[in-house]
Amino acid sequence: MDLQFAEKKVKDLHNLLNQYNYEYHVLDQPSVPDAEYDRLMRDLIELEEQFPELKTEDSPTQRVGGEILDMFEKVEHQSQMLSLGNAFNEQDLRDFDRRVRQGAGENVTYVCELKIDGLAVSLRYEDGLFILGATRGDGSIGENITANLKTIRSIPLRLKENVTMEVRGEAFMPRRSFEKLNKAKEENGEEPFANPRNAAAGSLRQLDPRLAAKRNMDIFVYGIANVGDTGIVSHSEGLNYLDSLGFKTNKERKRCKSIEEVIDYVEGWTDKRPNLSYDIDGIVIKVDSMESQEQLGTTAKSPRWAIAYKFPAEEVVTTLRDIELSV
């Protein structure tokens, strides 16, 4: 096979493997059996061995790669990753709504999102290529965990448009992966993780990407850091745009025309949490209009146009026996 034909074959395989990966891990609707995906991957690996000059950084074969690091480099976020103020009850939500309407006018629409209990990360893309992934850190400086984030199959290595942008999301470990991981740890006499959030944090901090790859993590992206450059006028439009680029966003989000609707949404999810395949620790409520967000602005730490409603911590029922064992 000559180089020119091989180049076309490699390009076709990239497109097919990216599409099948997207269908499986983002849409959860695979259109081909795993065996077909594996066969195409083997073809691409062979071609890259035969023609090393055709192996590119964004190749589907490069998800689990890179050397074992001895530490993580520090990364400065292009724009600060803000914190979120908390609401603990209905009155807190009504107070938030009153402040929003005082600052941005009566006619406000909110977007409610499940608050995924993982860890916040930042993903930087240049000309459509995933080039840098970092932990939130202290909001300004995080750690470069690009190699580990590349192992999360729902993170596109190349976007459907060649845009340059930074997106924010919550990386998490699905409950099933968490239970499987802890079972293996206990069988090896190792200390299990306390919860999926700690398991995700521990997995993303692996210095060997091959170990991170085995942890079956996932991500929901929830915002565009430099949204001002995109001409997008609302948060919900921004999330739909992220969907169109190939990102995985959480589909349970809902636009609410009043705080009453927000309260109904919050109450609805309080009981439905166990039905989810991942942990959530609350609901994030955001003003939808970007113009209103700008009018409201931010404090030094967090936006005035968003708040996190936190579910009451699960009361742990401690039996007498547990107390006896703990003394």
Ligand X SMILES: CC(C)(C)c1nc(N2CCN(c3ncccn3)CC2)c2cc(C(N)=O)c(N)nc2n1
Q: Which helix (H) or strand (E) holds 36?
A: helix 34-50
Exactly one of 13, 116, 212, 217 binds ligand X (CB under 6 A); that residue is: 116
Least distance in angstroms from the C-beta of 155 to ligand X? 16
Stretch that binds ligand X, among 4-12, 40-48, 66-74, 81-89 (CB under 6 A): 81-89
Exactly one of 48, 97, 143, 170 binds ligand X (CB under 6 A); that residue is: 170
Exactly one of 14, 77, 124, 136 binds ligand X (CB under 6 A); that residue is: 136
Angle at 74 between CA 73 and CA 75, to 5 degrees: 115
Least distance in angstroms from the C-beta of 138 to ligand X? 9
DSSP 96: H
Exactly one of 48, 59, 87, 115 binds ligand X (CB under 6 A); that residue is: 115
- Total number of residues that touch ligand X (CB under 6 A): 16
d(CA 242, CA 208) in angstroms, rounded, equals: 29
Asked whether 306 and 282 are in contact (CB, 8 A), the reply is no
Stretch that binds ligand X, among 19-27, 78-86, 103-111, 123-131 (CB under 6 A): 78-86
DSSP 226: T
- Catalytic, out of 115, 150, 248, 286: 115
Hey, what are 85's tokens? 């103020």
Residues 259-298 vs ligand X: string with x where CB under 6 A?
-------------------------x-x------------
Least distance in angstroms from the C-beta of 4 to ligand X? 46
d(CA 68, CA 208) in angstroms, rounded, equals: 5
Hey, what are 269's tokens? 């999810």
At a CB cut-off of 8 Å and minimum separation 6, what does 252 contact? 113, 114, 269
Question: Cα–Cα distances in Å, from 298 out to 80, 85, 140, 306?
Answer: 11, 11, 15, 9
DSSP 30: -
Exactly one of 200, 219, 259, 306 binds ligand X (CB under 6 A); that residue is: 306
Angle at 137 between CA 93 and CA 281, to 5 degrees: 35
Tell the burial category of 83 from Cβ atoms under 10 Å away from its Cβ (0-12, 13-18, 19+).
middle
Least distance in angstroms from the C-beta of 96 to ligand X? 13
Q: Which is nearer to ligand X, 10 or 134 (CB)?
A: 134
Q: Which residues in the 219-248 window bind ligand X by CB under 6 A?
A: 222-223
Q: Which is nearer to ligand X, 36 or 138 (CB)?
A: 138
Q: Which is nearer to ligand X, 82 or 181 (CB)?
A: 82
Query: What's the order of all strands across the beta sheet hosting 86-87?
Result: 86-87, 306-310, 280-287, 110-116, 254-256
CA atoms within 13 A on the CB side of 24: 14
| Site membership for ligand X, residue 204 (CB under 6 A) | no
Q: Which is nearer to ligand X, 50 or 299 (CB)?
A: 299
Least distance in angstroms from the C-beta of 35 to ligand X? 35
Question: Cα–Cα distances in Å, from 122 out to 39, 171, 219?
Answer: 33, 10, 11
Hey, what are 161's tokens? 């448009």
Asked about 115 being catalytic, the answer comes back as: yes
| Site membership for ligand X, residue 120 (CB under 6 A) | yes
Q: Which residues in the 2-41 window bind ligand X by CB under 6 A?
A: none
Q: Which residues in the 95-114 window bind ligand X by CB under 6 A?
A: 113
Q: What is the CA radius of gyration of the chain?
A: 22
| Site membership for ligand X, residue 82 (CB under 6 A) | yes
Contact residues: ligand X, CB under 6 A: 82-84, 113, 115-116, 120, 136, 168, 170, 222-223, 284, 286, 303, 306
Which residues are the active-site residues? Answer: 115
